[in-house]
Chains A and B, each alone.
Chain A
């Protein structure tokens, strides 16, 4: 059917050609420029740009905050998806719609408002600061705003899987004498593993590259709360293009490698649990 489409339906070469041209010009050429610029550096210069105490601290901070916030997104996103699919409560549809807000809200707005919420006289800070939780301009602030951004990825990948989950598996488990807890860990969770991995990957990728919101809330202290993208901007503002590009290439390689690893993991888990 599909293979005969090419003889029946028009526009194959036109649309494919345009797609490749547009994709090539807008993404491939810039990527090539980035790697080209990085390769124009000598190995020693490249190393000197990407392996300094300040860049190492930035990679470590970027990785740790995005890992922690992706884990938090997984846990909270799972609870939200579970509640939205399985329970009924007043206002459920509004809560369901609100989950998507972080997708639609510009990150600069998220950063701006989060930067004010947790200071001593902020809406949430006035309760938290007396408890000794100083979230403003710290690692915690970055984790909170990245969790805000990550939750919808997890909820929206889990929700369809939870909805389509067959009841009879759980019933069979119950009739065979499994406790609710055993059913949860042995029947429900394994079915969700591929979706959980996807959600984790999406929020991690988003967290690693995020700039707009973090720049408002982190305080951007070198060696302490500086993320890798902020470092790239700092290098650019000193017109140190080669150094900025070198760090960008490291960031690109990390996110491509993560994406590849997670795609493989996902494919494996789909086969394993299928």
Chain B
């Protein structure tokens, strides 16, 4: 009677001592000395400050350097600048929608089915990231330019692609092709297909299943991909530079307008356009943080739901 009790206390005491030792080991193993912590924190925040924060503040400083009124005039009194804003608002959405449809189709095929060449196809999705944007533009010129493979045919039929809006859309679509698909594939794989299989088994048609089950599940991940795709589409420079032909008031998008004004030594004008693009980047970042939160919550819920049947059995 007496003995086991003392044994119990010894075990308890031992366990408690092991726990303290473990905590001490954890602390000592994990915590860097204070000078390392301060030094590294200073280096990290300093790098972010100098390389990222200072340039952003500088853009607005330069744009508003001559006052709000001249800033406004630089944007709206210059018809070529105004046109570049409108052109960007046409080109980017078209490219984003094209890649959105593609991204959903590709993610569906890749995440829901197994087929030969699946991993090759997944790798090919990233191809545009490893092609220099300038080379991307050049490839389109080789296809659709006057000297290009389809050039004579297009000229005979009165279709203009290079040095006009369709070329800008094609170049932008090429460069931003992977964004939506890349975001969606991991999200759809994590969510799994149980709910979709259930919907179809209960007699839902393909479209009903997509609109009522798949889309609500992936909406935040989808929006995340679209936001990133849009930021890149509106900001694309290299590929668009090659196919645009730089006709002011005709084929200059906002980033091209920034460059042209810079070449013309119109710094306030250039920074005014740049400030709009910087604002776009900052808004993108804020939406991104919010969406990351929501996607994580969705995935955690999916993980919990997927784990639940396993616990039940």
Q: Are A232 and B135 in contact (CB under 8 A)?
A: yes
Contact status of A209 and B58, CB under 8 A, knowing A27-B177, A180-B32:
no
Find A170's partner among B30, B33, B55, B129 (CB 8 Å cutoff).
B30
A80 to B48, CA, bound (A): 8
Q: Are A101 and B52 in contact (CB under 8 A)?
A: yes
Interface of A toward B, CB cutoff 8 Å: 2-3, 5-6, 8-12, 14-16, 18-20, 22-23, 26-27, 29-31, 33-34, 36-37, 76, 79-80, 82-84, 86-87, 89, 91, 95, 97-110, 112-117, 123-124, 144, 147-148, 151, 167, 170-171, 173-175, 180, 183, 205, 208-212, 215-216, 228-229, 232-233, 236, 239, 241, 244-245, 248, 251-252, 255-256, 259
B284 / chain A contacts, CB cutoff of 8 Å: 104
Q: Is B168 an interface residue (CB 8 A)?
A: no
Q: Is B241 an interface residue (CB 8 A)?
A: yes
Find A9's partner among B136, B173, B197, B259 (CB 8 Å cutoff).
B197
Find B237's partner among A29, A106, A183 (CB 8 Å cutoff).
A106
A30 / chain B contacts, CB cutoff of 8 Å: 136, 139-140, 142-143, 174
A interface SS class: helix
Q: Is B43 an interface residue (CB 8 A)?
A: yes
A151 / chain B contacts, CB cutoff of 8 Å: 47, 51
9 shortest interchain CB distances as A-B pairs: A106-B235, A209-B132, A212-B237, A30-B139, A10-B206, A211-B238, A174-B29, A104-B281, A108-B255
What is the minimal beta-carbon distance from B247 to any residue of chain A, in angstroms? 14
Give the most central of A6, A18, A113, A252: most B CB within 10 Å: A113
A124 / chain B contacts, CB cutoff of 8 Å: 50, 54
Q: Are A117 and B58 in contact (CB under 8 A)?
A: yes
What is the minimal beta-carbon distance from A221 to any residue of chain B, in angstroms? 16
Q: Are A117 and B25 in contact (CB under 8 A)?
A: no
B270 / chain A contacts, CB cutoff of 8 Å: 112
Contact status of A8 and B197, CB under 8 A, knowing A22-B102, A97-B289, A151-B47:
yes
Find A84's partner among B44, B54, B130, B228 (CB 8 Å cutoff).
B44
Q: Are A102 and B52 in contact (CB under 8 A)?
A: yes
Chain B positions 20 through 39: 1 when the CB is less than 8 Å from some CB of chain A, otherwise 0: 00100110111011000100
Q: Is B211 an interface residue (CB 8 A)?
A: no
A2 / chain B contacts, CB cutoff of 8 Å: 112-114
What is the minimal beta-carbon distance from A28 to any residue of chain B, in angstroms? 8
Residues B235-255 near A (CB distance < 8 A): 235-238, 241-242, 254-255
Q: Are B108 and A11 in contact (CB under 8 A)?
A: yes
B289 / chain A contacts, CB cutoff of 8 Å: 97
Q: Is B109 an interface residue (CB 8 A)?
A: yes
B interface SS class: helix
Contact status of A229 and B277, CB under 8 A, knowing A30-B140, A100-B285:
no
Contact status of A212 and B238, CB under 8 A, knowing A2-B114, A113-B55:
yes
A192 to B30, CA, bound (A): 16
- Total interface residues on B, CB under 8 Å, equals 102
Q: Are B237 and A107 in contact (CB under 8 A)?
A: yes
- Besides A104-B228, A255-B131, 16 other CB < 8 A contacts? A2-B112, A19-B105, A22-B102, A23-B102, A26-B174, A29-B143, A31-B139, A33-B149, A103-B228, A104-B281, A105-B56, A110-B55, A171-B22, A229-B133, A241-B145, A252-B131
A15 / chain B contacts, CB cutoff of 8 Å: 105-106, 108-109
Find A34's partner among B33, B51, B142 (CB 8 Å cutoff).
B142
Q: Are B285 and A259 in contact (CB under 8 A)?
A: no
What is the minimal beta-carbon distance from A103 to any residue of chain B, in angstroms? 7
Q: Are B134 and A209 in contact (CB under 8 A)?
A: yes
Find A105's partner among B30, B50, B259, B278 (CB 8 Å cutoff).
B278
Contact status of A98 and B209, CB under 8 A, knowing A106-B234, A113-B274:
no
Residues B256-294 near A (CB distance < 8 A): 256, 258-259, 262, 267, 270-271, 274, 277-278, 280-282, 284-286, 288-289
Closest to B53 in A: A98
A148 / chain B contacts, CB cutoff of 8 Å: 51-52, 55
A194 to B23, CA, bound (A): 30
Q: Is B93 an interface residue (CB 8 A)?
A: no
Q: Are B255 and A109 in contact (CB under 8 A)?
A: yes
Q: Are B51 and A205 in contact (CB under 8 A)?
A: no
Contact status of A108 and B58, CB under 8 A, knowing A19-B102, A100-B288, A174-B29:
no
A109 / chain B contacts, CB cutoff of 8 Å: 59, 235, 255, 258, 274, 277-278, 281
A107 / chain B contacts, CB cutoff of 8 Å: 235, 237-238, 255
